A and B are shown apart, each in its own frame.
Chain A
Amino acid sequence: MLSKSHARTFFLGGTILSFAVFLGLSWHTLSSEVPKQTNEAGLTPEVIRGKHLWESNNCMGCHTIFGEGAYYAPELTKVYERRGDAYIKAALMSPVPWSPRGRKMVAYALPESDANDLVAFFKWVNEVDLNGFPPKPKYKVSQNK
């Protein structure tokens, strides 16, 4: 029958082993794989400023990026490819709430330089290797608007 000291050994041993493996894999991921998959050389000052704007306005409070964030507004990982920079800048610089299909975005009315930084960020995000996310739709339905 399992004794309390066996149970404790199972807990401590399992925890230490799992954590050691996790640390090892994390080290490998961050030191050699992430720089390649994310094209770290492409992190220009514009991209970094764009990331800062992304955070300081809590864009993740409505949108997702890499599938992370809130589910109130569109996924933006591939927004650069989908919409292009003119559309993105129009949404960011608009003095009235952007609301293409009824749902309102905060009217940020960003200056053009900030909008350019965010576009640079989205361009960098667009090129990160995400193991196939977001998936291409299996069907493409034509919409009657």
Chain B
Amino acid sequence: MKYKSQKVAYWFFALSMLLLSLQIIYGFIMGFAHMGYDNLHDFIPFNTARAVHTNLLVVWLLSGFMGAAYYIIPEEAENELVSVKWAYIQLISLAVVGVVAIVGYHFNYWEGRKFLEIPRPLDWLVVANVLLFLGLILFTLYKGKKRTTTSLVLTMGLVFAALLYLPGMIWFDNQTMDSFFRWWVVHLWVEGVWELIMGGILAFLLIKITGVDREVIEKWLYVIVGLTFISGILGTGHHYYYIGAPKYWLIIGGIFSALEPLAFLGMALFAVAMYRKGEKKHPNKIALMWTLGTAIVSFVGAGLLGLAHTLPQVNLWTHGTLVTAMHGHLAFWGAYGMIVFAAISYMMPNMTGRKLYDSGNGLTAFWLSNIGMIGMTTAFAAAGVAQVYMERIMGLEFGDVQNEIQVHFLILVLCATLFTTGVGIFIYEFIRYGQPTDEALEQHP
């Protein structure tokens, strides 16, 4: 760590890990409900568990991104964060908004718009929170000595993510219009600007870990985020096939979303190539594994499994089935969960001065969580494909099909237990690092 204010990142990571733990608990509630054990139905019905599960996902990832940005921006800009106090205020307000929203979901205080369940009055608090965050980041960059491509791409991702939240706050009477703009937020986040954030963090980690020249890494960063936007923006069309929008989206969405894996393939090849090219042998192997892991698993989960059902001829049958859950889990984990884990793994030793990365625990956490998640994805795939054939192609009743595929959710829950064990060990290691300290400051050159 080079600047004292980078320590702020720690508390964002801590919040992130806390919310992830809660997300997993609600995931288990849903897994058991799908198996037929909905004993909590009277207190936490499925729609509550579902809204909590997906919203906690968004908030823990955002908290992780914000933590990573608070660490990266001062180091890249070569300047202390403009205000540490306001960064803590922003952290607390983020936690408050998150908690109020999640508690509200247990009392029917929500808007049933997938991923955007936060009621509109609370949306304004989200906006205030994000503006404060962006203000701190932009002001630090403005006052800093350097504006690197890495910091600009990361900041651009964060600014666009904030702007794209706004279309989701407009009220429409027409369900089709509502859905159309909801995807401006959800799709353009996860298959657009969040990839800028991911790319920015990935570039920073690769520069630090592999020691490859910044100019080379940043050049390829531009190419990758360019591919992301060229395929991803018009790729939004794959959400417009069957919601009441015209047929030309079938062609445009089909072609451009078929190109989306290219950006992820680029990311994976880039990370591996930089690792091979690098002459520096950074001792933090765990951070390296998560960094390469995120690039590779995101290609499989977001790229390949997305491609598997993105063409309109296929999507006509799979749209709105568990096949979507298959793709969703490995995509979010690979692209966004793992990049947060990579950032934490790299930054914690630097902030605390403790080099615990040699322990076997770190490796165990990596392999268990990844094998568990791949198992979960496979269980969702089996359930989803069986559902498509029985319900959509053979015309059996939804409820009868669900009863037939319950067994896949037993496998899902077993694999989720492996995943949870891995994540649990990761969090145990996080706690073992303890709090950051100024003693961990590196000498300025």
Contacts and interface: CB of A to CB of B under 8 A. Distances in A.
Interface in B386-445: 387, 392-400, 402-403
Interface in A1-27: 2-4, 7-8, 10-11, 14-15, 17-19, 21-22, 25-26
B41 interface: yes
B180 A34 contact: yes
A135 B316 contact: yes
Nearest to B117: A58
Interface string B52-63: 000000000000
A13 to B, nearest CB: 8
A134 interface: yes
17 contacts: A4-B219, A7-B219, A7-B223, A11-B226, A15-B230, A19-B233, A28-B246, A29-B246, A34-B176, A48-B173, A56-B111, A74-B398, A74-B399, A104-B38, A135-B316, A137-B392, A137-B393
A11 B231 CA distance: 12
Nearest to B231: A18
Given A7-B222, A34-B177, A72 B215 contact: no
A129 B38 contact: no
Nearest to B173: A48
Contacts of B180: 26, 29-30, 34
Interface residues of A, number: 71
Task: For chain B, give the interface size range.
Answer: 35 or more
A32 to B, nearest CB: 9
B114 interface: yes
Nearest to B119: A56
A101 B111 contact: no
Interface stretch (B42-50, B130-138, B345-353): B42-50
Contact of A71 (B111, B245, B321): B321
A139 B242 contact: no
Contacts of A4: 149, 215, 218-219, 222
A90 interface: no
A55 B36 CA distance: 26
A101 B234 CA distance: 41
Interface in B1-40: 30, 33-34, 36, 38
Contact of A70 (B46, B236, B242, B250): B46
Contacts of A62: 45-47, 50
B208 interface: no
A72 B34 contact: yes
B392 A143 contact: no
B283 interface: no
A38 B402 contact: no
A72 B394 CA distance: 19
Contact of B51 (A14, A37, A58, A143): A58
Given A22-B234, A60-B114, A67 B319 contact: yes
Given A29-B240, A40-B174, A58-B47, A131 B247 contact: yes
Given A19-B233, A38-B174, A131 B47 contact: no
B248 interface: yes
B233 A29 contact: no
B332 interface: no
A112 B129 CA distance: 41
Contacts of B219: 2-4, 7
Interface string A49-71: 00100111111111011111111
A141 B394 CA distance: 6
A33 interface: yes
Interface in B225-281: 225-227, 229-230, 233-234, 236, 240-250, 252
B143 to A, nearest CB: 24
Contacts of A61: 46-48, 50-51, 112, 117
A139 B422 CA distance: 44
A60 B248 contact: no
The 5 closest A-B pairs by CB, nearest first: A61-B47, A101-B399, A137-B395, A67-B320, A58-B112
Counting chain B CB atoms within 10 Å of each CB, the highest count among A40, A51, A65, A72 belongs to A72
Contact of A55 (B41, B112, B218): B112
Centre residue among A58, A65, A102 by max chain B CB count within 10 A:
A58
B94 interface: no
B379 to A, nearest CB: 14
Contacts of B249: 25, 29
B229 A14 contact: yes
B395 A38 contact: no
Contacts of B176: 34, 37-38, 66, 128
B220 A7 contact: yes
B210 interface: no
A21 B232 CA distance: 12
